[in-house]
A and B are shown apart, each in its own frame.
Chain A
């Protein structure tokens, strides 16, 4: 069921979709990974790190 739901969102078996404008060409999959990396990087800086009691 989970793979079915994921497959409905991201079809990895179909033709890949691309974003194309002039010289700029990138697959949607690669763009999504890059955006997620940027979001994770921002969250890693912004979110507080849990500390043990002895360190506080």
Chain B
């Protein structure tokens, strides 16, 4: 008999889908002992660095990250963390593609990973638009016509710095974090895909 309240039902379903030993396992299948299986967690680690360095440069703003040594340092950590995030994510993507990682009822795991990749590209793009320098102006003016022609310009104006900054520091990172969180929960639910 299920619990009489919605909180109880959510708890029951959560425990049934993710028992603690599956949510935080202390062992993995033998086939996971391969370097190609490391790149998912490397991507996650780089994402944490990007979020943390982004939080630091958000504290003082562009007047700081463009003009002081410590600002340059954290700005560079944010940039190179993003470079590594995409580097690891692409190697992770190649590895999963060539082992057909959507096998064994893992289609949604694959899809959430692929959508995370696409949303991450949009997040990085709004980051380039938020640099507050000639580079960001160049990228904004070069991209506006193509994006406006698609119709997206009505609610996503690349020349509107305030809007792009909000997309970059709130909406898109939140979406990426939710997608990555769902992706990891699905990996825990279905297990790590075995090699072909």
A41 interface contact, C-beta 8 A:
yes
Most buried by B among A36, A41, A49: A41
Whether the pair B91, A44 counts as a contact (CB closer than 8 A) is yes
Provide the bound-state CA to CA distance between A47 and B94, in Å. 17
| Least distance between A45 CB and chain B CB atoms (Å) | 6
| Least distance between B106 CB and chain A CB atoms (Å) | 20
Q: Which residues of chain A come closer than 8 Å to B36, judged between CB atoms?
A: 41, 44-45
How big is chain B's contact interface, by range? Answer: 10 to 19
Number of residues from A at the complex interface, CB < 8 A: 12
B-facing residues in A31-56 (Cβ within 8 Å): 33, 36-37, 40-41, 43-45, 47, 49, 51, 55
Provide the bound-state CA to CA distance between A49 and B37, in Å. 10
Whether the pair A49, B33 counts as a contact (CB closer than 8 A) is yes
B-facing residues in A7-48 (Cβ within 8 Å): 33, 36-37, 40-41, 43-45, 47
Provide the bound-state CA to CA distance between A51 and B38, in Å. 14
Provide the bound-state CA to CA distance between A45 and B91, in Å. 11
Task: Jot down 9 A-B pairs with beta carbons below 8 A, ordered by A.
Answer: A37-B87, A41-B95, A43-B35, A44-B39, A45-B34, A45-B35, A47-B35, A49-B34, A55-B33
Kindly list the 3 A-B residue pairs having the minimum CB-CB distance in the complex, ordered from nearest.
A44-B35, A44-B36, A49-B33
